Amino acid sequence: QKEVEQNSGPLSVPEGAIASLNCTYSDRGSQSFFWYRQYSGKSPELIMSIYSNGDKEDGRFTAQLNKASQYVSLLIRDSQPSDSATYLCAVNRYSSASKIIFGSGTRLSIRP
C-alpha cells in the first residue's frame, strides 16, 4: 500500500465547473497536509495547506481534511483552462525531519 494514494487521472472537467481531487494516506499520525500544483516541465507550487479537520478555503480553492477517514480533498471552483496541471497531494511525516511524502499526482484537464 502506498503511503499517499491519488487517482492518476486524467480528470477532465468543463470550464466553469467544480473539479474535485481526492487523496488518501496511510500514516494515522500525520499532522499536516498539502496540495501542490505542477505544470508540465515546472516545479511543484504550494497552493493549499491544511492541519485541522474540516474545510479551508482560499479563493477558488477549498481543501478538506478528514483525519478519521485519512482522506484529503481539493475542490477547485469555476475551473479555468489555466488550472490544467498535475495536482500533488502531500503529507508531512515528521520524525526529527519534515519528510514530505507525495502521491503520484492527478492530472487535471479543463476543457473549454
Partner 1 sequence: DAGVTQSPTHLIKTRGQHVTLRCSPISGHKSVSWYQQVLGQGPQFIFQYYEKEERGRGNFPDRFSARQFPNYSSELNVNALLLGDSALYLCASSLITSDYNEQFFGPGTRLTVL
Q: What string marks each residue from 49 to 88 as x (binds partner 1 by CB under 8 A) or -? A: x-x------------------------------------x
Q: Which of 54, 68, 96, 112 binds partner 1 (CB under 8 A)?
A: 96
Residue 103 has, within 13 A of its CA and on its CB side, a CA count of 29
Residue 85 is placed in which grid cell? 496541471
Residue found under cell 488518501: 24
Of 27, 45, 55, 57, the one binding partner 1 by CB under 8 A: 45
Judged by CB under 8 A, which of 1, 69, 82, 98 binds partner 1?
Answer: 98
Q: Look up residue 39 and give its three cell numbers.
A: 505544470
Residue 99 within binding range of partner 1, rule CB under 8 A: yes
Q: Which of 71, 75, 101, 109 binds partner 1 (CB under 8 A)?
A: 101
Among residues 34, 75, 76, 85, which is the contact residue for partner 1, using CB under 8 A? 34
H or E segment to which residue 104 belongs: none
Grid coordinates given for 13: 472537467
Task: Determine contact, residues 28/70, Cβ cutoff 8 Å.
Answer: yes
Q: Cα separation of 39 and 10, whole Å?
A: 14
Provide the CA 76 distance to its chain's centre, in angstroms: 10
Binding region for partner 1 (CB under 8 A): 4, 31-32, 34, 36, 42-46, 49, 51, 88, 90, 92, 94-105
